[in-house]
């Protein structure tokens, strides 16, 4: 008997899919369907396969746990020693967020270059005013820093609008479809001055903390815009604020912050050139995310029961999909 914990809100359709997978594999399974917050320490301790971001402290390096399938792309809370046993395979949900997050970043980009955030502010103040010239993605150079599923989805969107796309990756390789030029992370300073749009979807690693320094903002075009839908700690609040106030960039949009929730007294809230959304680009705000997560989890569950290799396995060195 295998104890399976599904710590993710599921309907009858999804529950039946997991039960049927066990039946088809001829493996007797006992299922517990719950949520991450409601999952008990006993339920977690007895499980050999968990779907969901259960509290790390409740896992306590359980030797019974063969697989932890997250519903997030990031796996930071589960990386420290002592959270998972050495035998436990950690899998993430990379691939489920591409459409939703890339569309959010794309909408933010258009909002900035068309100055819609400024017109919204004018509307709320009942002011009929012209904010001047705008720019276009047609003929613009868009720099995408982090070419995973989200970055590539965003590349296709801006490419369709006529942009030149430069992608930045840690490791080299063939230039992906929808990308005109590929550069390594260590060479980013060479291409930053070319960019009209810098879109960041960097993961959270030792190398990416405060990646966007004051010096790097100084390299950007004064008319460039910066969009961050990756990790908030890629840029400090103070550095971003100064880059905006000093006119080093024309505007910025962030769905992630160095500190979350962003404190009510943060000056970022009142910065006219900045658009803020409260880490909602992903989450479960679009149906494609939930469907993608269920698809990834179910496929890995079937592979686990069949003794086949798992997908979306997290690299311990980076905290992201290998």
**What does the angle CA 110 – CA 234 – CA 213 come to, to the nearest 5 degrees?**
95
Query: Of 42, 63, 238, 260, which one is the catalytic site residue?
Result: 260
State the DSSP string of 220-243. Answer: S-TT-EEEE-S-GGGS-HHHHHHH
Sign of the dihedral through C-alpha 163, 195, 197, 293: positive
Would 2-96+286-316 and 98-276 be classified into the same CATH topology? yes
pLDDT given at position 97: 97
pLDDT surpasses 90 at 83: yes
Q: Which CATH number fits domain 2-96+286-316: 3.40.50.720, 3.40.30.10, 3.40.50.620, 3.30.1330.40?
A: 3.40.50.720
Domain chopping of the chain, boundaries: 2-96+286-316, 98-276
- Global pTM reads 0.94
Contact, 313 vs 32, CB < 8 A? no
pLDDT surpasses 90 at 12: yes
Q: Catalytic residue at 231? A: yes
The domain defined by 98-276 folds into: Rossmann fold (3.40.50)
pLDDT-derived band at 321 (thresholds 50, 70, 90) equals: confident
pLDDT-derived band at 283 (thresholds 50, 70, 90) equals: confident
Q: Catalytic residue at 260? A: yes
pLDDT surpasses 80 at 174: yes
Query: Of 231, 248, 258, 286, which one is the catalytic site residue?
Result: 231
Q: What percent of the chain has pLDDT over 70?
A: 100
Angstrom CA distances, 271 to 118, 134, 212, 241, 275, stand at 11, 19, 19, 8, 8
Closest CA to 96 of 303, 298, 279, 262: 298
pLDDT-derived band at 8 (thresholds 50, 70, 90) equals: very high
d(CA 145, CA 143): 6
pLDDT surpasses 90 at 257: yes
The secondary element (H helix, E strand) that includes residue 141 is strand 141-145
Closest CA to 271 of 118, 134, 126, 133: 118
Strand partners, 7: 34
Higher pLDDT among residues 205 and 223, named by residue: 223
Q: Catalytic residue at 171? A: no
Question: In which residue are the tokens 């929730």 written?
Answer: 261
């Amino acid at each position: 008997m295998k104890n399976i914990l599904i710590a993710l809100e599921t309907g009858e359709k999804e529950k039946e899919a997991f039960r049927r997978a066990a039946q088809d594999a001829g493996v007797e399974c006992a299922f517990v369907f719950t949520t991450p917050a409601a999952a008990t320490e006993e339920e977690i301790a007895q499980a050999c396969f968990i779907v969901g971001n259960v509290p790390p402290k409740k896992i306590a390096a359980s030797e019974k746990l063969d697989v932890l399938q997250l519903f997030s792309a990031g796996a930071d809370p589960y990386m420290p020693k002592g959270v998972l046993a050495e035998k436990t395979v950690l899998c993430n949900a990379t691939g489920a967020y591409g459409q939703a997050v890339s569309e959010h970043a794309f909408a933010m980009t258009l909002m900035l270059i068309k100055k819609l955030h400024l017109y919204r502010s004018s509307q709320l103040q009942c002011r009929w005013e012209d904010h001047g010239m705008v720019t276009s993605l047609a003929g613009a150079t868009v720099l995408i820093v982090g070419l995973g599923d989200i970055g590539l989805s965003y590349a296709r969107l801006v490419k369709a609008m006529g942009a030149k796309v430069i992608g930045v990756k840690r490791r080299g390789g063939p230039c992906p479809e929808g990308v005109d030029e590929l550069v390594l992370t260590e060479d980013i300073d060479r291409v930053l001055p070319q960019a009209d749009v810098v879109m960041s979807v960097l993961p959270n690693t030792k190398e990416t903390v405060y990646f966007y320094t004051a010096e790097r903002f100084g390299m950007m075009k004064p008319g460039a815009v910066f969009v961050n839908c990756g990790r908030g700690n890629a840029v400090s609040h103070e550095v971003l604020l100064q880059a905006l106030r000093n006119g080093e960039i024309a505007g910025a949009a962030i769905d992630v912050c160095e500190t979350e929730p962003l404190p009510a007294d943060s000056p970022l809230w009142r910065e006219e050139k900045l658009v803020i959304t409260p880490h909602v680009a992903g989450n479960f705000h679009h149906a494609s995310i939930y469907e993608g997560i269920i698809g990834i989890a179910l496929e890995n569950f079937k592979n686990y029961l069949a003794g086949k290799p798992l997908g979306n396995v997290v690299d311990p060195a980076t905290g992201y999909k290998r």
